[in-house]
Amino acid sequence: MVEKSGVVVHLKQPFNATRIIAANIENRVKELNKMADQSEKAKQGFWEEFEMLQQQECKFLYPRKEGQRLENKAKNRYKNILPCKNSEYP
């Protein structure tokens, strides 16, 4: 995070900008698109928010360990999006 003065502030915990009111989703999408357009870095906007969500697994009610098991890895459509235990199909 950068202050208006230009001083970089290092956060000990990520700033949770993901929590929004559903009625404001259009504004959040515009904000993320703007961040991606203005930055030369690859990890901005939507990608940065996705990475933050991936790191918050410990806050979830159900862990994603089942999707990481060897017998289930081949069933995962995406390598970076894993299902949790109670989302399995027989």
What are the tens digits of pLDDT across the range 13-45? Answer: 555 555 667 888 888 888 877 765 665 555 567
Position 76 pLDDT exceeds 60: yes
In 3D space, the residue among 28, 33, 85 whose CA is nearest the CA of residue 60 turns out to be 85
pTM beyond 0.75: no
Q: DSSP string spanning the chain?
A: -B-TTS-B---SS--------GGGHHHHHHHHHHHHHH--SSS-THHHHHHHHHTTGGGSSS-SHHHHSHHHHTT-SSTT----GGG---
17 vs 80, residue with greater confidence: 80
> Is there a contact between 18 and 32 (Cβ–Cβ < 8 Å)?
no
